A and B are shown apart, each in its own frame.
Chain A
Amino acid sequence: MPPALMERPKVAPPSDDKRWRIVEGTMRRHGYQPHALIETLHTVQETFGYIDEDAMKFVAQSLRVPFSQVYGVVTFYHFFTLKPQGEHICVVCLGTACYIKGSPQILDAIERTYGIKPGETTKDGKLSLLAARCLGACGLAPVAVFDGQVVGKLTPEEALKQIRRWEQDDSR
């Protein structure tokens, strides 16, 4: 393991948002070592919901990693996103078991009803649709995650009903 850098230029966070302290905390815990890049980006995404250019620049300077490498890492891994997500997030699993049991139909139904493809957000910023590789809940296929809540043995009708429930709750 490369030795920890003793001296480090003080890098100011992009804004005086207090959440940057959480990000700095992660970097400090890893001794500002370049190999903490992915861990730090996880923290950024966890705290802000997405990773924008300012965040990438800040992390790059703090860890003394070229910006190009940070950008490369962020765009390489599917888990990181450059754009803010919608208010509600629906993740449809497209793993093998779910695929065999009809998850493409679920995805298709949502795509047609809301006019968005996986990775996109509706214009009003209400709904983001994502596709997952495998959620590891194959015993209950097909599954989808609605705002963190996993629902198994799903049908296209049931999926649309879940999303409509959000709309009703929000309009109340």
Chain B
Amino acid sequence: MTVDELQQLAATEQEAKQRYKFCINVCVATGCIMCGSERVKEAVEEAVKAKGLDKEVLVKGVGCLGLCSAGPMIYIEPDGIIYRKVTPEDAPAIVQGLVSTPVERLICPPNLPFFKRQMKIVMENSGIIDPERIEDYIAVGGYQALVKVLTEMSPSEVIEEVTKSGLRGRGGAGYPTGLKWSTVAKANGTRKFVVCNADEGDPGAYMDRTILESDPHRVIEGMIIAAYAVGAQQGYIYVRAEYPLAIKRLRTAIRQAERLNLLGNNILGTTFSFHIELRIGAGAFVCGEETALIASIEGKRGTPRPRPPYPAEYGLWGYPTLINNVETFANIPAIIRNGGEWFAKIGTEKSKGTKVFALAGRVVNTGLIEVPMGITLREIVFDIGGGIPEGKKFKAVQTGGPSGGCIPEQFIDLPVDYESLTKVGSIMGSGGMIVMDETSCMVDVAKFFVEFCMSESCGKCVPCRVGTAHMYELLHRITNGSATMLDLELLEELCDLVKNTSLCGLGQTAPNPVLSTLRYFRHEYEAHILDKTCPAGVCPVRQVEEVPA
């Protein structure tokens, strides 16, 4: 396929869509499928046919609409009506609603802060295009960034644009993307690789999965542009085995892109060639760490190795390798299309653009949100999230999964960016955001994460393998009421040791949940130890029985 043919295809697709008066978009991402959206879609299709409207109404399955707690969701174009909690029985009424008045009882108020306060870049096509059709993506301007890059820009210009945008890695650490790209571009190697890290292991985070399920071509386009910029010929997407739907849609997307010659040899008739292969993870959290991920792609146990040398110089099979997160790649097409300066205008001074968060836990509106950097936690929890259900009191927000920390109420007006979150003892992380209320015990939460790190430790270095086990043991003693203040001291010392001496990110950040809860909720630890009570009533603290005389 040539550039002209691609533009032709986009025009034909847009025309085809305009022939329809209405478009009923049914969410078919994992969350809504669980609530039965596939049956809803079938019922809507039948209802449309029964009314004889198949020439005027297009029914399609689309990606995530965000408000997962109210699934299955339907979005009607061009009216912009959003229906929530739709059942197959509602289908005839919804189709009827197209020509008369919409179904009042199912409507999701359009002025809901949940939708109004968001800003979509990565998720701009989510809920609008069919993720299993490349033509849909092309119709909304997909692969235009690739055309621009291949026809108008040199690799160094691409890197310059990404550097100008100020984009930082969305996997958690926030390393400047432009800098990483130029390091790989400059590195010497007969071959180079581009790897997309889709091993989203943080419990409570599902942004990457949703991006892959809702708009897989966006990530592929970002990868091809990256490959052009750094000079790579081969790419891998390492995705968790726990995400079967994302794997299926990625496979479809890669096949479609190959068919249209957007992947493969001589892409769009140029001299540039790039191939992508899928690699399925096998359930090891540590494989999210880049050197462990490389080992896993090579078919070995996923154990990290000391850095430097960084993968940018010595990666897959010893060749220079660029590893970026799903969301990072998903930002690239928009940056190329609109320019780095446009992107740099969004967000704060040091954190540019938007971030996708998975909002979950004790909050009314759970789901997936995309917000500009610098928004406050209060806006996220109380405006977008709709506050805490059942009139309970807000206690803390946990960000960054097992590597992050708990942010207490006193910092609720903190702007969300890389530096601010690090300052209060948490991290941006990949984007999991769990809200906790007064019914959550912070010691129990810390124990939960330490237990996670303990069982996910790969066992290569001693501080992590043995340290996390002892941390767990101490926390276990605290929660069952058999600990003394000496144990607390020991725990703090151990945290310091594990943090400073572990080999990779997993061990280095494993003490964070303990340290941050100790910093802000020390009284809860002391209540467990001294008063033998759990203030939240979660832990089975047993009263020390008096020895009968």
A interface with B by C-beta (< 8 Å): 1-2, 34-39, 41-42, 65, 69, 72-73, 76-80, 94-97, 99-101, 132-141, 143, 150-152
B203 within 8 A of A: yes
B241 touches A79 (CB 8 A): yes
Besides A96-B448, A97-B361, A152-B35, 10 other A-B contacts (C-beta < 8 A): A39-B279, A69-B300, A76-B284, A77-B284, A96-B432, A100-B440, A134-B203, A136-B242, A138-B361, A140-B31
Using Cβ atoms and an 8 Å threshold, which residues of chain B touch A37?
A: 299-300
B126 within 8 A of A: no
B452 within 8 A of A: yes
B68 touches A139 (CB 8 A): yes
A62 to B203, CA, bound (A): 36
B301 within 8 A of A: yes
A78 to B287, CA, bound (A): 12
Question: Contacts A96-B434, A152-B35: A73 and B301 contacting too (C-beta < 8 A)?
Answer: yes
A136 touches B243 (CB 8 A): yes
A79 touches B283 (CB 8 A): yes
B302 within 8 A of A: yes
B442 to chain A minimum Cβ distance, whole angstroms, is 11
- Contacts A/B (CB < 8 Å), 30 sampled: A1-B316, A37-B299, A37-B300, A38-B279, A38-B282, A38-B296, A42-B241, A69-B301, A72-B301, A77-B283, A78-B282, A79-B282, A80-B283, A96-B448, A97-B204, A97-B360, A99-B203, A99-B448, A101-B361, A133-B201, A133-B456, A134-B203, A134-B204, A134-B206, A136-B200, A136-B205, A138-B358, A139-B358, A140-B69, A143-B34
B436 within 8 A of A: yes
B30 touches A78 (CB 8 A): no
Using Cβ atoms and an 8 Å threshold, which residues of chain A touch B30?
A: 136-137, 150
A41 touches B282 (CB 8 A): yes
A97 to chain B minimum Cβ distance, whole angstroms, is 4
A62 to B297, CA, bound (A): 19
Chain B 366-399, CB-CB to A under 8 Å as 1, else 0, gives 1110000000000000000000000000000010
A73 touches B366 (CB 8 A): no
Using Cβ atoms and an 8 Å threshold, which residues of chain A touch B203?
A: 94-97, 99, 133-134
B362 within 8 A of A: yes
A36 touches B34 (CB 8 A): no
B282 touches A138 (CB 8 A): no
Using Cβ atoms and an 8 Å threshold, which residues of chain B touch A138?
A: 68, 204-206, 358, 360-361, 366, 432, 434
A109 to B398, CA, bound (A): 27
B216 to chain A minimum Cβ distance, whole angstroms, is 16
Q: Which residue of B lies closest to A134 (CB)?
A: B203
A96 to B446, CA, bound (A): 11
A83 to chain B minimum Cβ distance, whole angstroms, is 16
Using Cβ atoms and an 8 Å threshold, which residues of chain A touch B316?
A: 1
Task: Pick from B33, B361, B366: contact of A96, CB below 8 A.
Answer: B361
Interface residues of B in 265-286 (CB under 8 A from A): 279-285
B465 to chain A minimum Cβ distance, whole angstroms, is 13
B69 touches A134 (CB 8 A): no
Q: Which residue of B lies closest to A34 (CB)?
A: B299
A132 touches B302 (CB 8 A): no
Interface residues of B in 245-296 (CB under 8 A from A): 279-285, 296
B204 touches A140 (CB 8 A): no
A101 to B390, CA, bound (A): 13
A132 touches B191 (CB 8 A): no
Interface residues of B in 204-261 (CB under 8 A from A): 204-206, 209, 234, 241-243
B204 touches A133 (CB 8 A): no
B472 to chain A minimum Cβ distance, whole angstroms, is 15
B282 touches A139 (CB 8 A): no
B298 within 8 A of A: yes
B280 touches A39 (CB 8 A): yes
A79 to B247, CA, bound (A): 16
Using Cβ atoms and an 8 Å threshold, which residues of chain A touch B300?
A: 37, 69, 73
Task: Pick from A78, A100, A134, A152: contact of B34, CB below 8 A.
Answer: A152
Using Cβ atoms and an 8 Å threshold, which residues of chain B touch A97?
A: 203-204, 360-361, 366, 434
Using Cβ atoms and an 8 Å threshold, which residues of chain A touch B436?
A: 100
Task: Pick from A94, A133, A139: contact of B285, CB below 8 A.
Answer: A133
Using Cβ atoms and an 8 Å threshold, which residues of chain B touch A34?
A: 299
Using Cβ atoms and an 8 Å threshold, which residues of chain B touch A100?
A: 361-362, 434, 436, 440, 445
B373 to chain A minimum Cβ distance, whole angstroms, is 22
A150 to B401, CA, bound (A): 23
Using Cβ atoms and an 8 Å threshold, which residues of chain A touch B284?
A: 76-78
Using Cβ atoms and an 8 Å threshold, which residues of chain B touch A41?
A: 282
B299 touches A73 (CB 8 A): yes
A1 touches B34 (CB 8 A): no
Counting chain A CB atoms within 10 Å of each CB, which of B297, B360, B440 scores highest?
A: B360
A108 to chain B minimum Cβ distance, whole angstroms, is 11
A134 touches B202 (CB 8 A): yes
A151 to B34, CA, bound (A): 7
Using Cβ atoms and an 8 Å threshold, which residues of chain B touch A96?
A: 203-204, 360-361, 398, 401, 432, 434, 448-449
A1 touches B191 (CB 8 A): yes
